[in-house]
Amino acid sequence: MKQSLGRGNTEKGVNQAVLDMLRSTKDLSQPLVILDIPCGEGGFACHLKEHFPNLRVIGVDRYVEPKTGNIEFHKLAAQEFFAQQSSLRTDVITCISGVVCFDGLETLFASFHRSLRDGGLLILTNDNVMTVRDRLTFLFFGHVRRFRLLYTQHEGNWNLVLPQALWMWLQRSGFRGIRVQYTSIHAKDYLFLPVALVMYAFFLPYLLLKRHPMTIGERLRLFPFAMFLCRHYVFVARK
C-alpha cells in the first residue's frame, strides 16, 4: 500500500516523489543500506525506517538532529562524514534539496559514487530556478525565488546549481542511466502557463538545433516543458 509522508524541508510532493522512485526501483523489504544526506529533521529517513524496518537508514546533517531516534544519525558535515566512513558501502543515497547548501561538488559527487555499491542508486533533488516565475523574478528583482538577493555570513541556501551542471557532475563522476523528473507544481503556477507556452516555442528549436554531443532524447529529458512550471526536479542515476 502506498505510504504518504510530509513535505519536510523541501517543496511539496518532493519527498513522496523520491519515495515512489525508491519503491519502483528497489525492494525495500530487503536489508538495504540507505544514506540520507542531508537529512534535516529526519522526516524522510525516519519514515523509511518506520515503514520498512529491515532497512538500515543512516541520516547525516550538520545543523539539526532528527526528532525521533529510530535511525542511525551523524551530526557532521558531508565531507567529514565521508572521510570518517570511507569504508561504508550503501545501496541508495538520497540527497533531497541538499546541493543548495554544499560546496566542493566535485568531491561530493565523487564521495557519492565511491560510497555506493555497484548498481547502487543516487536520488538527488534540487530547486528548479528555470521556471517562468523565477525568470521574471530575476528580471525585475535580481534573484530567483529560493535564493535571497542579500546573503548573510551563514546563509543556508546559497549554492545555485543549474540542472545541466548536475547532469555534468553525474557524468563526470561515473554515474550512468541518468533520468530527470520535474515535480511540485502549485495551482497558482498555472497562471504562468500562457507565458510558458510562448517561451517554450522559442526555447525548443534553440535547444534542438544547438551543436552538442548530448542526444536529442537527453536534451528533452533535461529541459522538458514542465521545466517552466514545476518548482523542483529529481535526478536518478546508477553507479
Alpha-carbon gap, residue 137 to 140, rounded angstroms: 5
> Which CATH topology does 14-131+150-187+229-238 take?
Rossmann fold (3.40.50)
pLDDT at 1 (0 to 100): 45
Q: What is the pLDDT of residues 49-69, one digit of tens each?
A: 999 999 999 999 998 888 777
3-state helix, strand, coil in the chain (%, to 5): 40, 20, 40
Instruction: Tell the residue number behind the cell numbers 521545466, with chain if given.
Output: 227
Going by pLDDT thresholds of 50, 70 and 90, the confidence category of residue 7 is confident
Q: What pTM value is reported for the model?
A: 0.94
3-state secondary structure of 35: strand
Burial 23-33, CB ≥16 within 10 A → b, else e: eeebebeeebb
3-state secondary structure of 96: coil
Average pLDDT, the chain: 94
Q: What is the pLDDT of residues 195-208, one digit of tens each?
A: 999 999 999 999 99
Alpha-carbon gap, residue 124 to 108, rounded angstroms: 12
Q: What is the dihedral of CA 27, 33, 35, 36, to 10 degrees?
A: 40
Q: What is the pLDDT of residues 71-129, one digit of tens each?
A: 999 999 999 999 999 999 999 999 999 999 898 999 999 999 999 999 999 999 999 99
| Per-residue cell: 165 | 551542471
In the predicted model, is pLDDT for residue 31 greater than 90?
A: yes
In the predicted model, is pLDDT for residue 8 greater than 90?
A: no
Longest Cα–Cα distance of the chain, Å, equals 53
Q: What is the pLDDT of residues 161-190, one digit of tens each?
A: 999 999 999 999 999 999 999 999 999 999
Question: Is the Cβ–Cβ distance between 41 and 8 less than 8 Å?
Answer: yes
**H helix and E strand count, the chain:** 8, 7
Q: What is the DSSP letter of 237?
A: E
Sheet with 116-127, strands from edge to edge, namely 72-74, 56-60, 33-36, 90-95, 116-127, 232-238, 176-183
